[in-house]
Structures are given as structure tokens and as C-alpha cells.
Chains A and B, each alone.
Chain A
Amino acid sequence: MHRNFEVLKTIASLQIGEVAYIAEEALDYIPLKLLEMGCLPGAEVRLIQIAPLKDPIYILVNGSHLAIRQATAKKISILKESFIDEG
């Protein structure tokens, strides 16, 4: 699998409607509560909506519809689908 700057992208950099996968490296940075709610490495994550003042954001991950703050989203790195295919 390629490891270039794309890997450094986080949930915070997603566009509305965009889908990505949570990176394995993210594990140590995801708060336990979020993990328990289904926000797991390898899981598909979709950005559904951004609140009017850019924060918080509304994501769908593993069947859970969650609102999280930008500060948390910035800690969770993602992989885009194309990179998984290459790997």
C-alpha cells in the first residue's frame, strides 16, 4: 500500500457526501467512546453534513449517525478508496 501525503488526510478534510475508510494508524487517536460507537479502523465513513458554523460535523460510520467536533475529526486519519484498491 502506498504511504504518501494522502494518508495524512483526516475525517475533517472530507467533503459533504464523500466516503473514505478510517486508517489503521488512527486506532490510538480515536477516543474510546467513539470506537465503542462504531468508529473503527477500516470502517467506511461518510460525511453527511457540516453544521452551519463549520463545527461540529455529522458522519455516518458503521451504521451509526454521529455528530463529532472538528477537533476530534482532525485526529482521525482516513484512506481514500483508490488507495485501498492500489494496495
Chain B
Amino acid sequence: MKDRIKVALVGNPNTGKSSLFNHLTGLNQKVGNYPGVTVDKKQGLSTLSKMHEAIITDLPGTYSINPTSEDESIVFRTLFHKDVQEYPDVLVVVADIENLKRNLLLFSQIKDLEIPTVLVINMKDLMTKKGISIDVKLLEEELNTEVVLISARNVEGIDEVKDAIVKSHVAAKTAPMCHINHKIDSDYFAKLKEITSEYSLYQLWLMVTQNNFPQNIDPEVKQKLLDFRHDISQIRRYQNKETIYRYQEINKILKKVYLVDRSKATDARSKLDKVFTHKIGGYAIFFFILLLIFQSIFDWASVPMDFIDGIFADLSGWVSSVMDEGVLTSLIADGIIPGIGGVVIFIPQIAILFMFIAILEESGYMSRVVFLMDKIMRRFGLNGKSVIPLISGTACAIPAIMATRNISSWKERLITILVTPFTTCSARLPVYAILIALVIPETEVFGFLNLQGLVLLSLYALGFAAALIASYILHKTLKIKSKSFFVVELPDYKLPSPKNVMFDVIEKTKAFVLGAGKIILSLSIVLWFLASYGPGAYDDIEQEVSSQEQFSSLSVDQKEFQIASLKLEKSYIGILGKTIEPVIRPLGYDWKIGIALLTSFAAREVFVGTLATIYSVADDEENTIKERMASEINPRTGEKLFNLPVGMSLLIFYAFAMQCMATLAIVKRETKSWKWPLIQLFGMGALAYFLSFITYNIFV
């Protein structure tokens, strides 16, 4: 039995912390949740030596232990409370050689928490290029810590990191680096220290500054600490002084061990910055990259998506053919398999999109986009950082909403979460595709633009526009006070590591499959039940069709379709569709479309499949569905049901309605309340209804 050490990785963003984590743990990773909070917890197992293994937690990147966002508060909570499950035996602080001074600020705070610490300095490979030299031995002495120089890019020094973790764990010695008391206000800190000897002075100071206390703290002690919080502005001043003092100590040490010869430094970044943040060119490049991403999502993803579609259809057919006819077969073949297929089919698009986003983030380009877009987004009540969720939303709103966690202003983050579902996600695409094919003629405008393509593009633009307008309205109406403080580091450009990109794509795709998958799957089972059972005479339909004269001329196949169609009409969901028909008639819809709308609340893409069942055609033959839909007659008017007004009205409905249970569940999780997802559901629903009504009446 190996000795298992609990290790946590901390460090500034862009230091290569995730690369080190990937090297230490390989594919031995899992993503879980911290109890009570929403931030994902990345953990992995690593073999350190013959005697030791480590369970390594990768904490979110942070510049300081004093948190300003949801991401960063995880670091504070994990390292501050000795009773949390992740409280580490050994901490690994990852720094990068170029920004060592700033990285050491976090190190100094962590060192003062008195947890055994290893300092890993990454990007050793850049030393010559940047003209940097460092005396590691002396730094080790000065910091009283194991120091390891590595290159995560070239996989150098990983074993040394493992050794240092073991050594540091065995020695278990640690001492604070800075002594805040006598440098800032000795009387003030002497009084603070007098309160109790149970906690170190730095711990007491953090309780005062963060207003966060251990659960088992003596109430009397807590009250005394709370008394210190009367003068908040004094606390802020002392925190500032503390930071200055820490930097003084760090400078003293670095003067002895760290040398930069600026004449040797090459400057590629300023040249690249001039291009990427250029007044006009910067936006042009960003727009071009967006086009490239969308183009690839549609082109590259269509092949694997068709393939997946085929596999699940075959699987479903195969199950029906080998298993005995019955409820279980029907549940598996018509409920569970299409349900899983409905989730899996989106993996290619989502994976490709996340690959692009990971590459843009890893390369350092994404921060430039944030820089370019901040002012524009701010006019709408958003934040430069909202750009990333809004782009991700074109694949799937679920990971997009999770990507809002680094926005430190709660109001800006909340608005971003609320408006992200307006962006055209991949589930809307099959619905748009079939409706456009039905009602928009395949003509060309201006001689070269395909009208159908133009309508699709307009729907994407409409999604973004709706998101921006909605955020402007929310910005003006939501009465939430939250400090909007914005600072973004613009890291050096670097070639993205394929390994990191791959791990990122796997992690986010997994989050989608598990998050959305569970809900879509369970709802498909519910829908299957509602569509397969009905009250009263439901069971007699089969006999009726076989015995009735009007159906006697039909072939066996046609008869079966007729039975299925009638069965659906008499099923629970058919009854539901009929019930809501008066409500949706003003939009131009009949009860059959009503059923499709209802089932779409599980997930939008269910629309096509539901109509296929209703119009009793085999659902893998898209052309047949289209033909069948095209020939459907509205009994009230005697005209085609899917004419231009109905088609446009439906397109608008799907563009605006919040038809995704999985997204609602994620919004509940991220906002910690049912209030916001319900506002989304009803607000967007009302908007969709209203705008579809107008659209229908314009075109009719």
C-alpha cells in the first residue's frame, strides 16, 4: 500500500499549470464538483515513487489568495479551511520564469499559510531567448522551499517535481515568508494576534479581510474578529500596504538570484500585438477567425454527424429486429437509443468548436479579443470576457454558461448567463434546415447569394442581436449592485500544446454529454411513454385500422404508418397537443406542430423526429419527411400547412424560445436559484410567442 499524498496545484493563469497537471497525471483525471459550489474540480492520480502516490487537484488559476471571482474563491476556500476534503498535504506553486516576481506574490501568501510548499518554475526553455539567468540553489535557501526548474513544453523536470513533492511531504517543515505585523501597523496587528493563539496571525488577518471563518470557530473569537471589520477602508489600506511589503521582500530575494539581460530579449509579441489589436485589422482578423470556425463546424462536423445518425438508426432497427416485440423493445428502440443518439450527434460540432476555443485561449489570442471587445460589450451591460461564452453558445449553451465563471462582476456574469441561450446553438440547426428547405425558395439574390443560405445566416445574426438587445434591457432593469472591476492579463503568444488542447476538448465535451445527456435521455423516456400510451380506446386502434374499409386498399407498410399516426393522435401527448391548439392557432400552428413544440422543450432537435412520427414516415429518410410536410394541408384553410407564414413563424419561435431543459438545469446550478432559469423560460417563451405572432401576421 502506497502512501497517498494530497497535492494541490496553484499558480497564476498562463503559467503552464495545466500542462504540468497533464504531465503528472496523464489520462488519470476526473472532473468533479466542489461540494456546494459550481466550479469544476479537476483531480488526477500520479505515482511519485515506489512508496508514494499523489492525488493531485488542479486549482483554478489565480493571481492572489484574495479572491475577486468565483474561480478564485475556490483557491481561497480550499487552502484556508483545514477541514475541507481537498486541503492539501503539499502545495505546488507553479510560476513562469518570465513573470517570476509577480508569481512569487501568490507564493508568499501561500507560504504564510504554513502548508509545505514546492515552487515549480516553468518555461526553462525560454531562459536563453529572454536573457534570463537564475540561481536555483540560492533561491531554495532564501525561500526555505524546494525549488524545481522545469519545461512543461519539452517535458523536462517532471520527475524532479515528483521527488520534491515527496521530500517536502516527508520533511513537513514550513515557515512563513513574510511577517505582516511589524511592517504595517504593529499595534493593530498586536491586538489582532492577542485575540487567540489557536490560529496564526495571517489566518486571523485573512478571516478579517475575507469575512470568512472556519466552521468550528469559537463564537467569542469570531465576534472579536468581526469587530475588526468596522473600518473597511482601513482594512483596504492595510491590504495595499501588505502587498507593497510582500513585493519589497520578493525584490530583495530576486536581486540576489535572478538576472535579466534585456539586450538579449527578442520582441515578437509587440509586433504581433500591433497586428491583432489594430484599430481595423484587429476586428477584421477576429471576424475572419469567426467565419473560419463556423465554416469548419458545418463542413467538418457533417460527416461524423451523418455517420452517428446512421449508426443509431441502424442500432434501433437492429434492436427491434432481434428482440421480441413488446414494451421493453419499444422503450429501448424508440426511447432510449434515439435519446442517446440525440446527445451523441452533437459531439462532433461541440468538440470542433471547443478545439478552436482552446487553441485561441492557449495561444494568448483570446485575451486580445477581450481587449478589443470590452468597450463594445460594456455598452450592452456585458464584459469583454462575455465574448467567449457568446461564441461557445453557437455550439451549446451548457459549456458556454460554465465559461462565464471568470467574470468577476456578478451583474455582468448573470446577464451573460441569461442571454447566452439566444445565440444559435447546434440543436436549432436541424430545425432551421428543414423549415428553410420547406418554405424558402431555392433562388439566388443579387445573382450569387443563395436565398436559403442567406436566411440561415440572418437567423444566426438574429440570435446574436437578440442576445445583445436582451442584455441591454437587463442592464437597464436589473437592480443589482456589483463592482465592475476589469483587469485582464495579455499573456505572451505561444504555440498551443496539442496535448492541452486535446485534454480540454475531452473535458468540456464530457461535461456536455454528462450534463445535457442525463436530462435529454430521461426526457426522451418520458416522451416515449406519453407518445406510446393513451387513455381509453387507445389499444383498439390497431384493430380498427385493420378492419376499416377506407384503409383496406393500403399496403402493409402504409397501414402500419396509419396506425402509428392514429396512435399518436390518441396518445397522452396527442391529447396535450389538442389541448394547447387554441393557444398556438394565432401563430399559424395546428395540434401536430403543437406536439412538436411541447417535445422540443426537452431539446429543440426533437422537433424533426416528432414530426416524422406524427406524419408517419420513417425518421431516417429526411426527404420523405420533407415531402410529407410539404403536402400537409391545413383543414381550416384548405391550403398547404407549411407555407411561408407558418414556416417563418416557426423559425422565429425556435430562435427565441428557451427550449432546453439541460440549459435550464445548468443555469439553476450556476445562479444557485430557480428564479433565473424560470425568468429565462417564461421571458424567452413570451418573447417567442409575441414575435412569432407578429411574423405570422406580416407574412399571411
The interface of chain A, by Cβ under 8 A from chain B, is 27-28, 30-38, 40-41, 48-49, 51-56, 58, 62-69, 72
Which residues from A are CB-within-8-Å of B240? 27-28, 30, 32, 35
B472 interface contact, C-beta 8 A: no
Query: Would you call A56 and B485 a contact (CB within 8 A)?
Result: no
The one of B244, B283, B371, B490 in contact with A40, judged by C-beta atoms closer than 8 angstroms, is B244
Q: Shortest beta-carbon distance, A78 to chain B, in Å? A: 17
Query: Would you call A36 and B105 a contact (CB within 8 A)?
Result: yes
Nearest-neighbor residue (CB-CB) of A30 within chain B: B240
Query: Would you call B372 and A28 a contact (CB within 8 A)?
Result: no
User: Ordered nearest first, which 8 A-B pairs have the shortest CB separation?
Assistant: A53-B375, A36-B64, A65-B490, A52-B279, A67-B488, A67-B371, A35-B243, A55-B375
Bound-state CA distance A63–B265 (Å) is 13
12 contacts between A and B (CB under 8 A): A31-B487, A32-B236, A32-B240, A33-B66, A33-B485, A37-B489, A49-B277, A56-B375, A56-B384, A62-B102, A65-B489, A67-B374
With A49-B277, A56-B371 given, is the CB distance from A68 to B66 under 8 Å?
no
Q: Shortest beta-carbon distance, A23 to chain B, in Å? A: 14
Query: Would you call A67 and B370 a contact (CB within 8 A)?
Result: yes
Bound-state CA distance A62–B486 (Å) is 18
Q: Shortest beta-carbon distance, B375 to chain A, in Å? A: 4
Which residues from B are CB-within-8-Å of A51? 277, 371-372, 374-375
Query: Would you call B102 and A31 a contact (CB within 8 A)?
Result: no
Which residues from A are CB-within-8-Å of B375? 51, 53-56
Main secondary structure of the interface of B (DSSP, over half): helix
Query: Would you call B236 and A37 a contact (CB within 8 A)?
Result: no
| 272-287 of chain B: CB within 8 A of chain A | 273-274, 277, 279-280, 282-283
Query: Would you call B105 and A52 a contact (CB within 8 A)?
Result: no
Query: Would you call B243 and A32 a contact (CB within 8 A)?
Result: yes
Q: Shortest beta-carbon distance, B213 to chain A, in Å? A: 20
Q: How many residues of B contact A (CB 8 A)?
A: 42
Q: Shortest beta-carbon distance, B72 to chain A, in Å? A: 9
With A48-B270, A51-B372, A53-B376 given, is the CB distance from A66 to B488 under 8 Å?
yes
Which residues from A are CB-within-8-Å of B241? 27
B101 interface contact, C-beta 8 A: yes
B546 interface contact, C-beta 8 A: no
Query: Would you call B102 and A37 a contact (CB within 8 A)?
Result: yes
Query: Would you call A58 and B371 a contact (CB within 8 A)?
Result: yes
Nearest-neighbor residue (CB-CB) of A68 within chain B: B487
Nearest-neighbor residue (CB-CB) of A69 within chain B: B486
Bound-state CA distance A65–B279 (Å) is 19
Which residues from A are CB-within-8-Å of B236? 28, 32
Query: Would you call A33 and B490 a contact (CB within 8 A)?
Result: no
With A28-B240, A64-B99 given, is the CB distance from A49 to B273 under 8 Å?
yes
Binary interface profile of B, 495-518, with partner A (CB < 8 Å = 1, else 0)? 000000000000000000000000
B562 interface contact, C-beta 8 A: no
Q: Shortest beta-carbon distance, A46 to chain B, in Å? A: 11
Bound-state CA distance A43–B280 (Å) is 32
Which residues from A are CB-within-8-Å of B247? 38, 40
Q: Shortest beta-carbon distance, B572 to chain A, in Å? A: 55
Which residues from A are CB-within-8-Å of B492? 65
Query: Would you call B371 and A31 a contact (CB within 8 A)?
Result: no
Which residues from B are CB-within-8-Å of A64? 99, 102, 489
Bound-state CA distance A40–B375 (Å) is 25
Q: Shortest beta-carbon distance, A62 to chain B, in Å? A: 7
Query: Would you call B489 and A33 a contact (CB within 8 A)?
Result: no
Which residues from A are CB-within-8-Å of B371? 49, 51, 56, 58, 67
B239 interface contact, C-beta 8 A: yes
Query: Would you call B279 and A35 a contact (CB within 8 A)?
Result: no
The one of A27, A33, A56 in contact with B63, judged by C-beta atoms closer than 8 angstroms, is A33
Query: Would you call B487 and A37 a contact (CB within 8 A)?
Result: yes
The residue in A38, A68, A72 that gathers the most chain B C-beta atoms within 10 A of its C-beta is A38
Which residues from A are CB-within-8-Å of B376? 53
Nearest-neighbor residue (CB-CB) of B489 within chain A: A66
Q: Shortest beta-carbon distance, A45 to chain B, in Å? A: 14
B491 interface contact, C-beta 8 A: yes
Nearest-neighbor residue (CB-CB) of A54 within chain B: B375
Bound-state CA distance A30–B367 (Å) is 22
With A33-B64, A54-B375 given, is the CB distance from A48 to B489 under 8 Å?
no
Which residues from B are CB-within-8-Å of A69? 374, 486
Bound-state CA distance A51–B367 (Å) is 12
Binary interface profile of B, 587-604, with partner A (CB < 8 Å = 1, else 0)? 000000000000000000
Nearest-neighbor residue (CB-CB) of B12 within chain A: A37
B98 interface contact, C-beta 8 A: yes
B565 interface contact, C-beta 8 A: no
Query: Would you call A32 and B270 a contact (CB within 8 A)?
Result: no
The residue in A41, A48, A64 that gathers the most chain B C-beta atoms within 10 A of its C-beta is A64
Bound-state CA distance A21–B235 (Å) is 26
B179 interface contact, C-beta 8 A: no
Query: Would you call A72 and B487 a contact (CB within 8 A)?
Result: yes
Nearest-neighbor residue (CB-CB) of A36 within chain B: B64
Q: Shortest beta-carbon distance, A9 to chain B, in Å? A: 21
Which residues from B are CB-within-8-Å of A30? 240
Binary interface profile of B, 228-242, with partner A (CB < 8 Å = 1, else 0)? 000000001101110
